[in-house]
Structure 1
Amino acid sequence: MKQLCSISFILFFGFPVFSQETAEEIIYDKRDDHIESFPNRVTTRLFYINTSNSFNFTDKNSRDAVRLIPNKQDRIGASVAFRNIAVSYSVAPDFLAVNKDNKHSKLFNLNLRAYFGKWMQTLDLYRQKGFFVEYETISPYYPEMKSFKIGGATSYILNDKFSYRAIASQDEKQLQSAGSFIPGIVYYYTKLNINMDSLNQEFHLFDIAFSPAYHYNWVPAKNLLLSAGISAGIGLNHSTSEDESFTSLLTELNLKGSFIYDLSNLYTGLHYSYLILNHNTDRSTYIKDNIPFFQIFIGYRFKAAEKLIRKADKINDKLKIKSE
């Protein structure tokens, strides 16, 4: 896992764009009235990420609240992507102020995305160690408290004129404003180890919700993209601990916003999102599960070498992957 924290490879989830150009012609750019795509370009990116997974527990009777806040680590890194393969490297350097006193805390985060026609699949993974426990005016630190979360969403993009790739991976560019209704299913599994003083308890949380969403890409100028989206879902949570198993109503809210400036093949921008999952863990305790995510990036798209393109086409032929 430590190695994955440094080098994450995306083989299944990535940016699938398949082509079968002839030897006489390599297509680097395709466009229609609304979307421009870059099927044979290598996409590179430098990025800064701030994200974490925190938990708010509230007693339904007394209204007392306890917040479990991970000792955050900001990361910087680089990524290279071509077709359906991407490789990234990220570190948590000490020169970033938030990392100077991390008290042996650990954070591993992986966010993957794939497209299959109109279908979009995401996968999120968070592994954290070291939490502050905020209660009233005190916030002691517990280095052995841990959490693990894995899950994601399966979504369907209804509007062909709307490009989610223009927001997420920049292997497409939105040329005219467009929006889309995107129904989906959201699901997560969370393991929370509360290890503090005399309390040592483990929770297992299972979430699933139907989550309709709407996203809009606004193109106010030729190379500028402003995007906003919201999803609001409802479903079920099943929580288990040593003392009790409990099933309750789950609500999901996810707010997203992006700013991207894309000049020729040079692009820069930022993403922000905030996911909130609300449910009970037992008959008397209410939990708010929060995942904020912030990223700043700058990148460039290079023409892939002909040998790389031919090699990729041969692999597609062997795997019987058809052109899109």
Structure 2
Amino acid sequence: MPRYLLIYPIRFSLLGIFLCCLLFNVWHGHSQQDSTRIVTYTDKIILKANIDTRADALLYRNQDEGERLELTPNSRYRLFLSLDYEFIGVSVGLVPKFLGANSDENLKGKSSFTDYQFRFFLGKWVQGLSYSKTKGYYVRNTADFAPNWTEGTDPYVQFNNLTNSHYGMSTSYVLNPNFSYRNIIYQNEWQKVSSGSLIPTLYYDYNIFSFDELGISSKEKFFNLRLSPRYFYTHVFHENWFVSGNLSPSLGVRFSKEETMESEAIEIEHSTYFTRSFSTGLNLGYSSEKIIFGLNLTFSSDWYNEDSNSSVETDQLYGVLYFGYRFQPPKFIENTFKPFSGN
């Protein structure tokens, strides 16, 4: 039986358990409110470094012909540096050479990656803004297209001018006031008592996927809109340690415009797709007055059908290692933010 047919029963079984947990915790969260359950560190500056293994991979499958194309950039690790203070946070992501990124450019080609993220906290609301750009991909399953190809010796098929630009936004709302979303995502709070919450999130993003090689110039512009009833639960098993898990199914729609130019002839095609997504993660973290660190493991899958025979899917399993430090801000920063912080 094909793998994708096995995935659906598992996903919907998890979704049933997920929805039952949501109903209980939404009721439980509104019936008990205790501000002493959460310690805030928003008055401290938090500097943090993340190292993750996530890659912007893409899988294209043609079921009739039994073909699949796996595209991925040549970047083993990504480094994010972030700063959070009061109601605002910012992070910058890149692929540094010292982490061994692109060390095998002779085989997989050269890739570049940049990422900028901003976040704003307005009570229970969290607003995110992001921009990222990835350039340079190689065909991970080159052996399927070149029978005489030898791994480790022959170069992969490469698309050095293949570029993916992403402009994204997200709006989240934390339903349970006794659950700290900031504790597990941004580490500017500390949750003292185990709790969970439904965090419905609306994602909306604009993407440009461009290709200019072999005499063919193609550009796909698409807008994604999807809603996810995400659920998070944090178990505090020590004064300074916690473990947190989450489930995030979602449904959405993609509006696409594809422009292709070959031999000075331009073709334009408009399409609309219904998208599905599922992700889950596990986070083990430590927090003290000044030091924070942890490990986060995440699996995510996004897919949609282009037509009755072709589908596009992105499956990712990656880890994130983070380390941060909290400290008192300089007086001039405190005075600048004081009118907005309510302190």
Q: Which residue is 1:153 aligned to?
A: 170
Q: Secondary structure, in 3 states, of the residue corresponding to 1:225? A: strand
Cα–Cα, structure 1 residues 104 and 43, in superposed 2: closer, same or farther, change >3 Å? same
Is 1:208 paired with 2:233? no
How is 1:169-248 mapped onto 2 (pairs within 5 angstroms)? 169-242=186-259, 243=267, 244-248=269-273
User: What is the SS of the residue equivalent to 1:98?
Assistant: coil
| Cα displacement string for residues 121-153 of structure 1 (whole angstroms, at most 9, x for unaligned residues) | 223332111101235265411211111122232
Distance (whole Å) between structure 1 residues aligned to residue 316 and residue 119 of structure 2: 17
- In 1, Cα distance between the equivalents of 2:42 and 2:216? 54
Whether 2:115 is the aligned partner of 1:109: answer yes
| Separation (CA, whole Å) in 1 of partners of 2:283 and 2:61 | 32
Inter-partner Cα distance in structure 2 for 1:87 and 1:156: 19
Counterpart in the other structure of 2:69:
66
For 1:287-298, list aligned pairs within 5 A.
Answer: 287-290=312-315, 294-298=319-323
Question: Which of 291, 305, 317 lines up with 1:280 in the alignment?
Answer: 305
Matching residue of 1:15: none
Give the alignment partner of residue 131 of structure 2, picking from 117, 122, 125: 125
| Contact 1:278-1:288 within 8 A present in 2 as well | yes
CA distance in 2, matches of 1:210, 1:92: 30
Q: Is the 8 A contact 1:227 1:257 kept in 2?
A: yes
Residue 41 of structure 1 aligns with an amino acid whose one-letter code is: K
> What corresponds to 1:28 in structure 2?
none
Corresponding residue of 1:323 = 342
Deviations 1:240-282 (A, max 9, x none): 2135222122112122322111133211112333443211345
Letter in 2 for 1:302: F
Equivalence map 1:51-62=2 (5 Å):
51-62=54-65
1:46 is matched with 49
Report what 1:8 is aligned to: none
Aligned partner of 2:8 in structure 1 is none
Distance 1:299 1:81 in 2: 10
Kindly tell me the number of residue pairs found equivalent between the two proteins: 288
| Secondary structure, counterpart of 1:211 in structure 2 | strand
Distance in 2, Cα, partners of 1:261 & 1:200: 49
State the distance in 1 between where 2:184 and 2:341 align. 25
Q: Are the counterparts in 1 of residues 204 and 225 from structure 2 also a CA contact under 8 Å?
A: yes
Contact 2:76 2:102 in 1 (8 A): yes
Shift of residue 289 of structure 1?
3.6
CA gap 1:150/1:292 in 2 versus in 1, 3 angstroms: farther
Shift of the 166–251 alpha-carbon distance from structure 1 to 2, 3 Å rule, reads same
Aligned pair partner of 1:266 in 270, 277, 291:
291
CA shift for structure 1 position 88:
5.2
Does the C-alpha gap of structure 1 residues 77 and 206 become closer, same or farther in structure 2, counting only changes over 3 Å? closer
- Of stretches 276-285 and 159-168 in structure 1, the one that deviates more from structure 2 is 276-285
**2:101 maps to 1:98:** yes
* Closer/same/farther in 2, CA of residues 66 and 100 from structure 1, 3 Å limit: same
User: Shift of the alpha carbon at 1:199?
Assistant: 4.3
> Per residue, is there more helix in 1 or in 2?
2
Aligned-CA RMSD value: 2.6
Distance 1:236 1:63, change over 3 A: farther
1:285 shift after superposition:
2.8
Query: How has the CA–CA distance of structure 1 residues 221 and 99 changed in structure 2, closer, same or farther, with 3 Å as cutoff?
Result: same
Pair 1:265–1:190, CA change in 2 (3 A)? same
Indicate conservation of the 8 Å contact 2:255/2:273, yes or no.
yes
Q: TM-score, with normalisation over the residues of structure 1?
A: 0.79
Q: What amino acid is the match of 2:37?
A: H
Q: Which runs of 5+ in 2 are unaligned?
A: 1-33, 147-155, 260-266
How far did 1:77 drift? 5.5
Segment drifting more, 290-299 vs 48-57: 290-299
